[in-house]
Amino acid sequence: MFKYVSRRLAYAIFLLFLLSIVVYLIFGLLPIDPARISCGVHCSPATVLGNRHRLGLDVPLYEQWWRFICGIFAGRTYGDGAAQFTCPAPSLGYSFPHNECVTNVIAGAFPFTLSLAIGAFILWMTIGVSFGIIAARFRGTFIDKAATAFVLIGSSLPTFIVGLLVYIAAFLMHWIDPISQGLWVSPFSDPFGFFKNFIFPWITLALAFAAIYTRLTRGNVIETSSEDFIRTARAKGVSERRILIKHNLRTSLAPLVTNAGLDFGGLLGGAIITESIFQLPGLGMISLKAVLHDYDLPLIMGTTLVAATFIILFNLIVDLAYAYLDPRVRIA
């Protein structure tokens, strides 16, 4: 097990290193000059040159990348003399539209995205797995057909349609306040306000994901029910309830670990549509604004790296969890 974990950690670190190169090259080779954008339309050439020096863009691309990597671990200093300022580690650059370090901008947005991801994850896993188990248990009955209809509707409707329908319904019933919506409320100081802010975004995401997990759970439970060890347990007189809980579910739900881990990791990178509809200034929302309005390349690059890092991290967690559940994986 130790060798397997070490190997997967080495792969993850190498992939993150490779990712930083690719992302930096993509954004570094774009025909957009952050130094000019950061000072407006009527900039003099001298001002543009000064901004380029402050941002560290007056050196070759490979040196810019190296400074970027060093900044993640040791922080980074921009400019000279009285105009000098520092972004402490981990530094992902400096955002001129926000007038602060990219790391601080991301740190301010991350609580919204984390709260959205955790709540939606709990909701869709609870609904999806429960509906899938019930549909498989009562296969061929009205309950199974109702679960199938839920899967078809939930999988077919785009997220922005579901989000708009949920938002309009909540607004018409006065369950949502457009003014306070999107303001951060701590779940510790005001649990009700926190729940009120996030319940409808949670429902929006959960409806789509729950449909997928209902289908996966139902299929896995039905497929596992025909395995030899299940038939052996029935022949020994074990009750159906005990067979389902002790034997079937562990085997059936193990494949869901992969999907759940990757879906949750992807959500931590920002749910752009849901955050936009409900005006939640999370990572998805600030990324969209950076692309469409600010042309904030350091922020775009920072959020891209953070989102990709979460996906790689949860891919690693999924691999380790799967190896724990199925020892045969460690041999591969």
Mean pLDDT (the chain, rounded): 84
Residues 75, 131, single domain; the answer is: no
Which residues, including other chains, have CB under 8 Å from residue 138's CB and lie 6 or more apart?
144
Q: How confident is the model at residue 331 (pLDDT cuts 50, 70, 90)?
A: low
Residues 82, 207, single domain; the answer is: no
pLDDT higher than threshold 80 for residue 90: yes
Residues 280, 188, single domain; the answer is: yes
Residues 84, 155, single domain; the answer is: no
pLDDT higher than threshold 80 for residue 62: yes
Residues 46, 138, single domain; the answer is: no
CATH number reported for the structural domain that contains residue 322 in this entry: 1.10.3720.10
Mean pLDDT across 246-260: 78
Evaluate whether residue 13 is within a structural domain.
no
pLDDT digits (tens, 9 = 90+) for 216-251: 999 988 888 887 888 888 888 887 778 877 777 777
Amino acid 241: pLDDT: 78
Residues 167, 251, single domain; the answer is: yes
pLDDT higher than threshold 60 for residue 329: no
Place of tokens 């019933």: 173
Residues 235, 290, single domain; the answer is: yes
64, 91, 118 - which closes a domain: 91
Amino acid 135: pLDDT: 92
Residues 63, 197, single domain; the answer is: no
pLDDT digits (tens, 9 = 90+) for 102-111: 999 999 999 9
Residues 82, 116, single domain; the answer is: no
Distance, CA of 31 to CA of 195 (rounded, Å): 44
pLDDT higher than threshold 80 for residue 93: yes
Amino acid 326: pLDDT: 62
Which residues, including other chains, have CB under 8 Å from residue 18's CB and lie 6 or more apart?
none
Crossing angle (nearest 10°) for helices 2-28 and 61-74? 130
Which residues, including other chains, have CB under 8 Å from residue 13's CB and lie 6 or more apart?
none
Distance, CA of 317 to CA of 275 (rounded, Å): 26
pLDDT higher than threshold 70 for residue 330: no
Amino acid 1: pLDDT: 67
DSSP string, 269-331: T--HHHHHHTT--SHHHHHHHIIIII--HHHHHHHHHHHHHHHHHHHHHHHHHHHHH-GGGGG
Evaluate whether residue 132 is within a structural domain.
yes
Residues 248, 211, single domain; the answer is: yes
Distance, CA of 284 to CA of 310 (rounded, Å): 14
Most confident range (mean pLDDT) of 6-10, 39-43, 285-289 is: 285-289
Cβ(212)–Cβ(220) below 8 Å: no
Amino acid 332: pLDDT: 52
Which residue range forms the structural domain that includes residue 152? 107-331
Amino acid 328: pLDDT: 56
Amino acid 260: pLDDT: 87
pLDDT higher than threshold 60 for residue 65: yes
